[in-house]
Chains A and B, each alone.
Chain A
Amino acid sequence: MKKNIIEISNLNKNYDGKQVLKNINLNVTEGEIFAVIGPSGAGKTTILRIINMLDKPTSGKIFFNNRDYNNRNRLKTRRKMVLLFQDTGVMSGSVYDNVSYGLKIRGVDKTEIKEKVANALREMGIESYGKRDVKTLSGGEKQRMAFARATVFNPELILLDEPTANLDPKNVGVVEKIIKKINKSNTTIIMSTHRFEEAISLADRIAVICRGEILQVGAPEEIFRKPTSKQVAEFIGLENLFEGVSTIKEGISEIYINKIKVYATSGKEGKVKVVIHPEDVIVSREKIVSSARNTFKGKIVEISDKGVLVKVVVDVGIPIITLVMRRSFEELNLNINSKVYVSFKMSCVHVF
């Protein structure tokens, strides 16, 4: 069995009299990608900051490789990990100045620094950026620089706070690839995210946190299939997650989920996970002629009230969850067992 790199027990954090974290118990295994997922303000960032010793817990214990945080040699422990902030801070100077900083303060000699910085920049695909002023970098480039800066001294644990939150979709893909690449060299990663798909595609295990409390910890499928509380179900349950087999024909993925064939724009083949956001699904009484490539006939098996929206589950061979505006719901006169069509565009099918 693999050992735990981080163990947190009975940890509480109060901030200005408000309880930010309540009785957190958490173990993170060496070499895994662990995602802390929850809505904003849930306490994700605070957990990461406490693990990195940037904030002190009000009570409770943390261990890094069985070493208590209250031990004397905090600097030594702290220097084995690094936190990447959601909004990266850059020190004035060049990319080289920034990336070499961690090595410089560790007293590494100059020729070794040069070599390691060059390697780190190459790993992140920014090998020619060394002399550039950090102020001239774009958001995506800055994030790559931050990854190079954090990985250059080979930390055992990398903490990522919403690593893709401020990036455009193209750079999100790049950063997710980088995360996987770093993890391959057995570096443990703890990341926070509010995007469930990101957690599914990257994490080995997920902790769902809400209002400072951990609601459930487990593998992504486990949390998805068997949410242990209503809150978890509410947070993640409004998604369509399926497993299927993808084959590519003429540049388009044909994904079989049970006997249903779903078209997607992904380039992935073989076993895949598919997520379709309920709000992207159109429900209609008649078969509509449109540009949406995915249209299925089915019947309504579940209706529940969500306020302005109504959650309608349509069985088309697989249960498709949809969200319909209350007005549309009333105009379409939908009931349990109503025969309806569901349609969604290829680009709305997210494949992992």
Chain B
Amino acid sequence: MGSADFLVEGAVKALELIFSGDTYVWSIVAVSLEVSGSAVLLAAITGILLALLLSFTAFKGKSIIIAFINAGMGTPPVVAGLFVFLMLVSAGPFGFLKWIFTPQAMIIAQFFLVTPIITGISIAAIEAVDSRIKDTAYTLGAKTLDLAVVVVREARFGIITAVLAGFGRAIAEVGAIYIAGGNIAFWDAELDTYTSYTRTLTTAIVLETSKGEVSTSIALGIIILGIALIVNLMTNFFQGKSKYR
């Protein structure tokens, strides 16, 4: 069998898996989206509020906090995963929650990974808002809360870009969810197939490739590329909008 045949055969089988609605493959997609989606949602709420708070206040040590946030943007996923593992493992301080190797643990790990990214980019977006707009809202009678609403509205495209960047990071990372989630899939006897519990697109590719199941890996790879492509197109769209503004 030539190398090209091996690739073609793998790709054809992969497309079959995708379009036949293979339970195993699509259960992995569902877990991935659920975990990364939840983590990004929580991180967005935290990050945007944190960014607003930091942009609206002036205090000693603010620059140090911002330096930490910027450093946090580059946290290696395995380190975030290790941290959450140590916290949640049965001997750890939060072991009593019994969350280790659950989607909750994965969400927490990705939350730590993504929050600095959303916060950092949101701060940049908020501080780029024309100060005249803030002054105008103030002189028209805005309270601090009104000002925050105006600023978020003006910075909305930048903030959306921040959230998309966070999602792109979450959906593509392996290390954090591998360590915190354990890459678990259960055998479903009724459906006669495996279904994912904490197995995501990225962790599944690692496993299936090592097992030699390249067609499954290719299928998952195509899907994750598709998601990444959509996220990037959206990011470009909103970045274009924020530049135009």
Which residues does A use to contact B, with CB under 8 Å? Answer: 52, 54, 75, 78-79, 82-83, 85, 87-92, 101-102, 105-106, 149-150, 153
Contacts and interface: CB of A to CB of B under 8 A. Distances in A.
A92 B154 contact: yes
Contacts of A106: 141
A88 B150 contact: no
Contacts of A75: 141, 143
Contacts of A79: 141
Interface residues of B, number: 18
Given A75-B143, A102-B141, A105-B146, A89 B135 contact: yes
Given A85-B132, A85-B135, A91 B153 contact: yes
B143 A85 contact: no
B4 interface: no
Interface string B135-147: 1111111110010
Given A75-B143, A105-B142, A91 B245 contact: no
Contact of A91 (B137, B139, B141): B137
Contacts, number: 52
Interface of B: 130, 132-143, 146, 150, 153-154, 245
A82 B245 CA distance: 26
B89 to A, nearest CB: 49
Given A75-B143, A91-B153, A92-B153, A101 B132 contact: no
30 contacts: A54-B138, A54-B139, A78-B141, A79-B141, A82-B139, A82-B141, A85-B132, A87-B132, A88-B132, A88-B136, A89-B130, A89-B132, A89-B134, A90-B133, A90-B136, A91-B137, A91-B150, A91-B153, A91-B154, A92-B154, A92-B245, A101-B140, A102-B140, A105-B141, A105-B142, A105-B143, A105-B146, A106-B141, A149-B140, A153-B141
Contacts of B141: 75, 78-79, 82, 102, 105-106, 153
A85 B142 contact: no
A206 B47 CA distance: 50
A105 B144 CA distance: 11
B140 A82 contact: yes
Contacts of B134: 89
